[in-house]
Amino acid sequence: MTTAYADKARILRSLHTPSAPLRLANAWDVASARVIEAAGAPAIATTSAGVAWSLGSPDGDALARDRALDLVARIAAAVTVPVTADIEGGYGTDDAGVADTVAGVIEAGAVGVNIEDGTRPPAEFAKRLAAARRTADRAGADLFLNARTDTFLRGLGDPDTRLKDTLDRAHRYVDAGADGIFVPGVTDPATVAALAAAIPVPLNIMAGPGAPDVAVLGSLGVARVSLGSGVAQSAYAAARRAADELFGSGGYSTLADAIDFRELDTLLSSPC
């Protein structure tokens, strides 16, 4: 593994701290990654949903692995900060497929991955995590393996035991090699604090309108705050507003807040 890769891996790992949580405004293409980096991002995370949409696929393991990896490689080559790639459930039907994906992510230059359990049984997902960890270790890559559990996001199981079930999954996933645990779908301060207190690795929360701000989440023990597909959704909403206005009143006022053409063009023409 190259020194540059090792340095970025070390930096990404060091950024996970509740005292100053890692803030991730997730990108979905090279232009969004460059814009986010220019805004001061210390790392770039991709959004699998945004990536899939930009390439003409729905979210949910529908995107072909090679297309996802090509996009990760393009982003990693375009920015100077560490990149962590959202790989959905691993873009594979079994442990071997997940291992192939992780090997491709490392080759693409990303120093972290986010992988989700979805509706998979926890034991099955733990095997996927273990395969990812073994693959990274064999490659000599200090890959930050962020394990996402969808218990709250999808409303899985009994609401009365959801916190306990989430913690059970989190501990199983840490034992399988996860470096961090991502619990989207929950921003209630008491629940977030309970998760942070009981999970022995950095906790990642997905935030949006109505969620506590980053400083408050950090005070609750959160080490990483992601916007998920929210930025991509907002960008597509801007496109729809512009289209609605053009095809409705015939106006153009929604374009007033656009990024300056030369600024964006310069970001993409200057070396990273």
Going from N- to C-terminal start, the domains of the chain cover 3-228
Q: Decide yes or no: CATH 3.40.50.300 for domain 3-228.
A: no
Residue 142 in this model has a pLDDT that exceeds 90: yes
Q: What is the pLDDT of residue 251?
A: 96
Give me the mean pLDDT over the 123-146 stretch.
96
Asked which of 148-152, 158-162, 193-197 is least confident by mean pLDDT, the reply is 158-162
158-179 confidence digits (pLDDT tens): 898 999 999 999 999 999 999 9
Output the pLDDT for position 14. 97
Question: What SS3 class is residue 144?
Answer: strand
Q: Would you say 91 and 97 are in contact if contact means Cβ atoms under 8 Å apart? A: yes
Q: Distance between CA atoms of 96 and 32, rounded to whole angstroms?
A: 32
Query: What average pLDDT score do residues 26-30 get?
Result: 97
Instruction: Report whether pLDDT(269) > 90.
Output: no
Task: Give pLDDT tens digits for 105-127.
Answer: 999 999 999 999 999 999 999 99
- Rounded mean pLDDT of 75-83? 97
Residue-level pLDDT at 145: 98
Quote the pLDDT of residue 272: 56
**Chain mean pLDDT for the chain:** 95
Residue 271 pLDDT exceeds 60: no
- Give residue-wise pLDDT tens across range 42-55: 999 999 999 999 99
Q: Is the pLDDT of residue 1 over 80?
A: no
**Helix, strand, or coil here: 182?**
strand
pTM metric for this prediction: 0.93
Nearest Cα neighbor of 46 from 69, 65, 62 is 69
Could you write out the DSSP letters of every residue in 98-138?
Answer: HHHHHHHHHHHT-SEEEEE-TTS-HHHHHHHHHHHHHHHHH
